[in-house]
Structure 1
Amino acid sequence: MDSSTNNNGDKVIVHNLFPHIVVYSDGTIDRPRNYPIVPPQEEDPETGVSSKDIVFSNDPYLTARLYLPKPTQTNDQNQKLTILVYFHGGAFTYESAFSSIHHANCNLLASQANALIATIEHRKAPEYYLPTAYNDCWAGLCWVASHATQNPINSDPWITNHGDLNRIFIGGDSSGGNLVHNVAMRAGVEALPGGVKLLGAYLNHPYLWGAKPMGKEPVIGFEETLQSRIWNFSYPSAPGGLDNPMINPLASGAPSLATLGGSRMLITVAGKDHLFFRDRGERYYEAVKESGWKGEVEFFEEKDEDHVYHMYYPNSENSKRLIKVVVDFLRH
C-alpha cells in the first residue's frame, strides 16, 4: 500500500496504480486514462453505423451499446448479421463501453465486418471487485443468446430482426481479452439460453499473467510490476493470487483449455509488448493448440508495435492490418 499526501496535506493515497487508477483515503478515485464518454448515434458520419444504449438486466442493473451497420447492396434488410459481443479493456479498473475510443472501434468493426455488435458495460474495481466483471460479461452473452428463446427478457428488435444467433462471437482487447478467455471457458461447460452455441472468440493482446516471470518480463521486482499489482487490486480474494486460472490459464491445476467453448479462436500480440503480455499471448496460443481443443486457432503478431496500438491509432497501416485480421476472422 502506497501512501502520500496531496497539496492540502489531508488526502492520503491508499492505492497508487497510476496511470490506471489512484484511490484516496476519502474514497475518491482518479482514473487518469479514461477517455470521454460519447453518446450513441443515429448514424455515424464516417461508417454509417447506427448505435443505441440499452438496459439488458435490471437486477443487477447492466447496460450495453448496440451497433447496427448500414444495409448495403450485399446486405439487405432481411440478411441476418454475425453478432459480436464485445468486452472493452481497461485493466478491470477504468474505461467504458461508452467511451470515445471503444465507440470508434465498434463503429469500425461493425462497418467492416458487417456485424451487429453488443458492447457490454461491465462493472469495475474497486467499486465492484472481480469476479463481478466476468459475471457481467457472461450475463451479456446470455442476454444475446436469450433471443433464441420464446420469451427473451428485455429483448431488442435489432437482435431479433437482424442478428444471426448461429454466428455469435465474443471479442476484446487487453483485459477485455482476458474477459473473453474466461467467458469462453464458461461457455464450454455451461449451456447458453435457447441451445445457442458460441461460434468463436478473439483476444487482442490479452491480459494474462502469473506468479512467476516468463520471457522478457522482469525477474527482479516482478510482484511489484503494474500488471501484478492490478490483478491483486482488482481481485483481492482470488484463490491462488497471480496463479488463479482466470489470470493464468496455464497455472498448475487450471481447467483444461480443451473445454473452451466455440470452434474458432484468434489470438493477437504486439512484438514490443514484452513488458506487458506478448510472450504470454503466444504461449496461450500454443497451449490451446496442444490442449486437444477441437476448434481452429489462429495467431497474429505485429512485431514493431506495442500494446493495443490499433485502439489508439486506428488509421495507421499496422492498425489497419490488424483490424483486417479481426474482420476476416468475423466474416469467415
Structure 2
Amino acid sequence: MMNSTSEEVKVELPGFVRVYKDGSVERLFGSPLGPPTLEDPKTGVSSKDVTISSDKNLSARLYLPKLASNNHPILVYFHGGGFCVESAFSLPHQRYMNILASQGGVVIVSVEYRLAPEHPLPTAYEDCWTSLNWVASLQDPWLASHGSLDALFIGGDSSGANIAHNLAIRAGTESLDNGVKILGAFISHSHLMDDPSSSNLDVQMGYKVWNFVYPDAPGGSNSHMINPMADGAPSLAQLGCSRVLVIVAEKEGQRDTEIRYYNAVRNSGFQGSVELFETKGEGHCFHIFSPDSENAKLLFQRLTSFLHK
C-alpha cells in the first residue's frame, strides 16, 4: 500500500489507475493472480507460462486440453481491463480459459501484454502483434505438437476485443510470419466507440479510459483504433480473416456501437462471414466473472461452435 497523499497525485482514472507525481503507479482494480496448473481439477486443462520476448517483458499463458490431439484449433486471446488493469494470469481469466480450452478443444495462448500508463498505446497492439507472429512460428512444443495453424483464431473481451479488431485489420494488409492466415476473430463486449457526444455514463467512461491510455492517438477520441467507422478509417472489408463473430450483451453501455460495428462489417464488402450473438439481460463481460451462469454457458457454447465451424 502506498503512503502517498492526494496532493501527490498527478492524474487519476477513477476506479482504475492513479499516477503520482514521482511517476509511481497505483492500480485501483484488479483480480487476484494465480499460477498455471498441470491438469486443472475441474476441466483437466493444463497450463504453463512462456516468455515471448524477454526484451519486451512479454509473456503468455498457454492452455492445453486434457485429450490433446495433434490438430487442435489455436486461439490467441487478449484479456480486457481498459488497456491498463487486469492480467492474463488473473484467476477469473484462468477459469475462463480453462472452460474455453476444455469445451472448445482448443489450444489457447493468452497474452500478457504491457499495460498503460507505464506503456501507453500503441504498445499493447505491438505486443499482441509480436505474440501473434510468435504463435505463427510454432516455437513452443505445445503449439507445434498439438495446434493447427490452418485453424488460427484471435479474440478478446472489452479492450481485448479492440485489440483483436485492430490486429485483424492489420493482418489484412501485413502478412504474418510464414504466410500464416487468421481463420476467424471474435470481438466480444468490445471497447469500440463511435459517439463522443453520448450521455451514457459507460460510454463517457470508455472515452476517458481511451484518452488516458492513448493520449497521443491519431484522431484522438475519433481515432480509427477506437472508432472503426470513423471517416478515413481502413475499410472493414480488409479484415484479415475469413469469419467474424461479434458478441454483445443487452445491458452494455456500448451495445449500440457494437451493433453498428456488426452492421458496418456486414455492409463493407467483407468477403467472409460475420455473425452476431447477443445475450439478453446481461452486462459487460458477465461471463468472465459469472462463468457458471446459464447465460455464460450459452455464450461458451456459441464460442465453441465458432471455433470449430
Provide the C-alpha distance between the structure 2 equivalents of 1:305 and 1:58, rounded to a whole number of angstroms: 39
Contact 1:11/1:26, CA 8 A, preserved across alignment? no
Work out whether 1:105 is the aligned partner of 2:96: yes
How far off its partner does 1:21 sit? 1.4
Gaps of 5+ in 2: none
1:201-248 CA-partner distances (Å, limit 9, x unpaired): 0011000013533xxx417x999x221111111011111101110000
The 5 Å alignment of 1:101-250 reads 101-147=92-138, 155-210=139-194, 212-213=196-197, 217-218=198-199, 225-250=204-229
Contact 2:61/2:111, CA 8 A, preserved across alignment? yes
- The letter for the 1-side match of 2:85 is Y
Work out whether 1:303 is the aligned partner of 2:280: yes
Provide the C-alpha distance between the structure 2 equivalents of 1:287 and 1:302, rounded to a whole number of angstroms: 20
| Residues 57 and 8 of structure 1, relative CA distance in 2, 3 Å threshold | closer
TM-score by length of 1: 0.89
- The letter for the 2-side match of 1:140 is S
Contact 2:194/2:257, CA 8 A, preserved across alignment? no
SS in 2 for 1:189: coil
How far off its partner does 1:10 sit? 6.3
Residue of 44, 64, 76 corresponding to 1:85? 76
How far off its partner does 1:13 sit? 2.3
Provide the C-alpha distance between the structure 1 equivalents of 2:71 and 2:222, rounded to a whole number of angstroms: 41
- Over the aligned positions, Cα root-mean-square deviation in angstroms equals 1.8
After superposing the two structures, state which structure 1 stretch, 7-16 or 86-95, moved more.
7-16
Provide the C-alpha distance between the structure 2 equivalents of 1:125 and 1:11, rounded to a whole number of angstroms: 22
Contact 1:88/1:120, CA 8 A, preserved across alignment? yes
Contact 1:211/1:242, CA 8 A, preserved across alignment? no
SS in 2 for 1:286: helix
% of aligned pairs identical?
A: 50
Provide the C-alpha distance between the structure 2 equivalents of 1:57 and 1:16, rounded to a whole number of angstroms: 30
SS in 1 for 2:108: strand
Greater gyration radius: 1
Q: Which residue of 1 aligns with 2:304?
A: 327
After superposing the two structures, state which structure 1 stretch, 181-190 or 28-37, moved more.
28-37
Structure 1 stretches (4+) deviating beyond 4 angstroms? 6-11
Provide the C-alpha distance between the structure 1 equivalents of 2:148 and 2:110, rounded to a whole number of angstroms: 16
| Residues 237 and 324 of structure 1, relative CA distance in 2, 3 Å threshold | same
After superposing the two structures, state which structure 1 stretch, 198-207 or 317-326, moved more.
317-326
TM-score by length of 2: 0.95
Q: Which residue of 2 aligns with 1:316?
A: 293
| Residues 230 and 162 of structure 1, relative CA distance in 2, 3 Å threshold | same
After superposing the two structures, state which structure 1 stretch, 227-236 or 172-181, moved more.
227-236
Q: Which residue of 2 aligns with 1:152?
A: none
How far off its partner does 1:324 sit? 1.1
